[in-house]
Amino acid sequence: MPSLVSHLSRYGTVRERVSLSRYTTWKIGGPADILFEPSSIAALSLALQHLKEAHVPWMVIGKGSNMLVLDGGYRGVVIHLSESFATLRQEGTVLIAGGSYSLIRLAYDAVRRSLAGLTYAGGIPGTVGGAVVMNAGAHGSDTSRVLSYARVVWEDGRIETVSREDLEMTYRTTRLQRERGVVVEAAFALTPGEESVLRKEMNAWKAHRLRTQPLQEACAGSVFRNPPGDYAARLIEACGLKGARYGGAQISEVHANFIINRGEARASDVLHLIHTVQDCVNERFHIALQTEVLVMGEG
């Protein structure tokens, strides 16, 4: 591990035994062996080449808003894109944002520039890179509706501009969940709009989210994907599990598809509730709920 730390230090900032609870919105997660923040796209490319050649496992974390890191942490390298990847530029009606740029901030930037297409994202607490990987969405829209292309550094170090079509984006799923890579930039093709109208629309969505979701609590957004033609929250409520607690975790009393950390929750508490929900919904409705959150690390 010391030689790996020394090697990665050539390409960015390296820290050892970092608690990942500081990097997730659930405020849950054990330590990473190494937290690596690359200094540039070229540096990330070289670092990934080395990790592949050395057979070192790695994962990416952005704002950790859609991720459950297990209590044992992560044995390998966690890549975190720093502020050097939080860039933004405009080319006509296209906004091109770096992988670590805040999606909420991007939505507000679009409104200020009288560009329509991102008002749905004004309450999604993730990064641009994470939004592309997960095809993040809300209020009947998602990233695939406005994405033009993404720049990806693949696990072998190749840097490629990948079109929306080639990313194979469907409901909360993309090619990037099957093929390992890091989104370092994304271009959003927007349309002209009226700032006052767009701001009103985004504020209305924000008010709706505040009324219907436990956004003041430590959570990770929707835990389960909605099954075709139904809603995970409805199925969970029908099982009588709204408000159920285990350890320091609780199924939200505001929205049943959210699990909140009441202060001392462990990942194992959250996993227990996830499995309880899946078992009940499967037994009662014969529906296998799939998680929307990514589960990473060791238990």
Known catalytic residues are 172, 222, 292
For residue 218, give the nearest of 242, 249, 243, 241 by alpha carbon: 249
Kindly tell me the burial class for residue 240, based on how many C-beta atoms sit within 10 Å of its own C-beta (0-12, 13-18, 19 or more). exposed
- Helix, strand or coil for residue 24? coil
Distances in Å between the alpha carbon of 193 and those of 57, 109, 148, 178, 201?
45, 13, 18, 36, 12
What letter represents residue 216's amino acid?
A: Q
Distances in Å between the alpha carbon of 190 and those of 16, 95, 185?
41, 8, 16
- The length of the chain in residues reads 299
- Centre a 10 Å sphere on the Cβ of residue 227 and count the other Cβ atoms it contains: 15
Specify whether the CB–CB gap between 293 and 69 falls below 8 A. Answer: no
